[in-house]
């Protein structure tokens, strides 16, 4: 399950995830091996073909994340947690270090840990948490190569590089998981 922070204006207008012209998300999904063929935002409805679900933490579209309020993160988390509980993905990948850090704080954790891309020390309803760099053209914190390394790591962790797979094999991001007593576990690194 891939989780974006919220729709940008272009995504809201087009009705497709990561639709901004400078967003590198779709190229990274393919180059990293998460999906077996190149697609664009217009093909986002095809992700379930490869066992991938996608959603946003906050539904309200904005030009940037600056105007999102802590309450929106908290309300979004409540909805997201229900989705994780319902669909039982093996991995929940947050697309954005800043988003994961902000979510960590609004969930009442003392001081955000040093969050780096990759697996986090958190489990939600049996799903492992992975953080990807935000591929927006506005993100100057990570080079393209660093982003690609994170997307490739996610592909390998989720069952291998799609570019090396054949036919009907799919990336098992949404494989069923046994409930962890229905509770959320998040802990600092």
The pLDDT of residue 140: 67
Domains of the chain (ranges; CATH) run 2-186 (3.40.470.10)
Q: For 102-132, how does the pLDDT look when each residue is reduced to its tens digit (9 = 90+)?
A: 888 777 777 667 789 999 988 899 999 999 9
Q: For 73-101, how does the pLDDT look when each residue is reduced to its tens digit (9 = 90+)?
A: 999 999 999 999 999 999 999 999 988 88
Contact 98, 138 (CB under 8 A): no
Q: For 151-188, how does the pLDDT look when each residue is reduced to its tens digit (9 = 90+)?
A: 999 999 988 555 443 323 333 322 222 233 333 333 33
Q: Average pLDDT in the 38-63 region? A: 94
What Å distances lie between residue 168 and 28, 36, 79, 164, 171, CA to CA? 21, 10, 31, 12, 10
Taking the model in full, what pTM does it have? 0.81
């Amino acid at each position: 399950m891939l989780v974006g922070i919220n729709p940008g204006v272009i995504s809201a207008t087009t009705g497709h995830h990561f639709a901004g012209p400078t967003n590198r998300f779709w190229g990274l999904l393919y180059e990293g091996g998460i999906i077996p063929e190149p697609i664009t935002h217009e093909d986002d409805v095809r992700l379930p073909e490869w066992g991938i679900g996608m959603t946003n933490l906050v539904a309200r579209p904005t030009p940037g994340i600056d105007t999102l309020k802590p309450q929106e993160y908290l309300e979004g988390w409540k909805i997201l947690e229900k989705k994780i509980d319902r669909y039982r993905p093996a991995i929940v990948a947050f697309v954005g270090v800043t988003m994961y850090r902000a979510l960590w704080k609004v969930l009442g954790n003392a001081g955000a840990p040093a969050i780096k891309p990759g697996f986090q020390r958190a489990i939600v309803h049996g799903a492992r948490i992975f953080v990807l760099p935000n591929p927006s053209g506005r993100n100057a914190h990570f080079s393209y190569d660093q982003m690609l390394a994170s997307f490739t790591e996610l592909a390998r962790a989720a069952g291998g590089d799609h570019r090396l797979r054949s036919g009907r094999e799919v990336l098992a991001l949404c494989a069923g998981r046994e409930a962890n007593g229905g509770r959320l576990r998040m802990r600092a690194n």
